[in-house]
Amino acid sequence: MKRKPIAGLFAESMAEAGVTTMFGILGDANIAFMSRMSQMPSVRTVHTRHESAAVSMAAGHARVTGRPALACVTSGPGLTHTMTSVVAACRANLPMVLFAGDTAAGGGFMGGLQEFDQRSFAELCGARFMRYQAGQDPRRVAAAAVASTLETGLPVLLSVPVDLLESEIEVGPGSVFDDTAPPATDGSPRPEVVAEWAGGLRTALAQARAPVLVVGAEAVRADAVGRISALARRTGAHLAVTYRAKGVLDEDPGCLGIIGALAHAADQSVLDDADLMVGFGADLTGFGAFGSRLFAGRQLEIGTESPSAPSVRSRAGAELCAALDRVLAELPHTAVESPAAPSREAAVRGDFDELPEPDDPGRVDPRSLMRKLDALLPDDAIVVVGAGHFWSFPIMYLPVRDRLFLYSIEFGSIGLALGTGLGAATAVQGARQVLVVEGDGGVMMGVQELETAVRSDIPVTLLVLNDAALGAEYHKLAGKSLAPDEAAYPDIDFAAVARSMGATGVAVTHLDDLAPAWGAVGSVRVIDARVSRKVTSRWYRRMYL
């Protein structure tokens, strides 16, 4: 038997368990682990400027790969700084291990300055909690943490007291990993669920005059889109999507686009006339759809769009497909003609008829900016969209094509998009262009990570939709007949800020500026687009004005 550092065993085991990227900041309680993890040849280490960004980067990496990334923080405030990002990652069901050094198990570390109940923190955020105890084999604990997050889809907070982390343990020869895999979760459809869904769908369609079938993200994941399209052709129903399934039916002439507050004006009359909306793996009442406020007809959800553990998703997808197959088998094979939906171009033009471009010198219409951007952005780009008033503009006016759209909206927090985008960029390693679309308020909450991108050579383009305000609050204040300037701020020159950190920075004050700005040379680019506050999104005009 020989003695080995516990920190080194944790690092070796994390790498062996498949962790390829670590994001974090050094601190007293995690320095022993993080320094050793950085020496693993198969692991890339990104030293961030803020702990919250470390978690959002790990989340972005997981969104693209489906594999767990590692975030690493120190005790006390090192962990508490991550809270918003951890809650968002939990609600998105993202596989991740958050390695948190903790104060000494024996007490007295730093005079108790950073004492904090990490277990209660994890439980409050919705994460799973594991704590390393004296005498445990760190290799088994590390493997268990990775296995847990993969099985449940929930982040795992792995808490390791610093006095144990910086000690040694006796280990014997051979691998500590079990040769036998855990028993697989039964993913076969439950007959009673299939029967319930099929019966409810059959009855609802038989009673409907003008149904709309809504495809959600989980229907896409379950490969059920073709079945839903076939059901629409057999019943004369219109098709639509949630924002999370944006783009999957763009080529279908019967698709109305996105439902809810993100619907185009030209599609709205058809949606308003519908008497039934059926969501397949879709959330009809939650954020974005707001079905309880914006749709007066009957609603039926077959499955859910809420994130869940991978095993649960797999079974729900199989049940969704089985229910659709049962209903399709009972319907005549002849097509039923339904009115064509407005073309996507006509739908966009209708929005400009409803609210023309404003006369606002030095500011651009964000809708037109997105349309210009479409011609410049590669068809296979990854587009990360932050939260705020601005977010509807890329969703409504930037087509999907073969692009992957990622959102950092699960907790309704601004300021998470840049970290998410940097994590996504580390996952693709330059194989796809990564564009982050964020508001000026959100950028100010994490602008320091531009330096991380430059120092770590993470290629990313940050498009700041800069209205010199907290845009959401500005328009809501106006809708309440309060003083909107309460939410206005002085203009920040984000192009200059970017250049000060070694990135490329270009300002856009006219639509003709976008192409030269996009062509600017630089691995890390910031495009500071000055957008007009006179353009209130359709979302806000429908919901708040």
Residue 186 confidence (pLDDT)? 64
Name the CA dihedral angle for 105, 109, 111, 117, rounded to a multiple of 10 degrees: -50
Please give the pLDDT value at position 209.
Answer: 94
The confidence score (pLDDT) of residue 138 equals: 96
Q: What is the dihedral of CA 507, 386, 400, 312, to 10 degrees?
A: 160
Per-residue model confidence (pLDDT) at position 182: 47
Using CA atoms, how far residue 503 sits from 185, 378, 498, 520, 523, in Å, is 47, 21, 5, 11, 8
pLDDT in tens, 367-386: 999 999 999 999 999 999 99
**According to the model, what pLDDT value does residue 312 have?**
87
Cα separation, 223 vs 388, in Å, equals 31
Quick one: how many helices (H) and strands (E) in the chain? Answer: 24, 19
2 in Cβ contact with 170 (< 8 Å): yes
DSSP state of 529: E
Q: pTM higher than 0.85 for the full model?
A: yes
Residue with token string 């869904």: 197
Among 26, 75, 48, 35, smallest CA distance to 423 is for 48
Per-residue pLDDT tens, the chain, 545 aa: give them: 688 999 999 999 999 999 999 999 999 999 999 999 999 999 999 999 999 999 999 999 999 999 999 999 999 999 999 999 999 999 999 999 999 999 998 777 767 788 999 999 999 999 999 999 999 999 999 999 999 999 999 999 999 999 999 999 988 654 344 433 445 556 789 999 999 999 999 999 999 999 999 999 999 999 999 999 999 999 999 999 999 999 999 989 889 999 999 999 999 988 999 999 999 999 999 999 999 999 999 999 999 998 888 888 899 999 999 999 999 999 988 878 777 788 889 999 999 999 999 999 999 999 999 999 999 999 999 999 999 999 999 999 999 999 999 999 999 999 999 999 999 999 999 999 999 999 999 999 999 999 999 999 999 999 999 999 999 999 999 999 999 999 999 999 999 999 999 999 999 999 999 999 999 999 999 999 999 999 999 999 999 98
Q: What is the pLDDT of residues 290-324, one digit of tens each?
A: 999 999 999 999 999 988 888 888 999 999 999 99
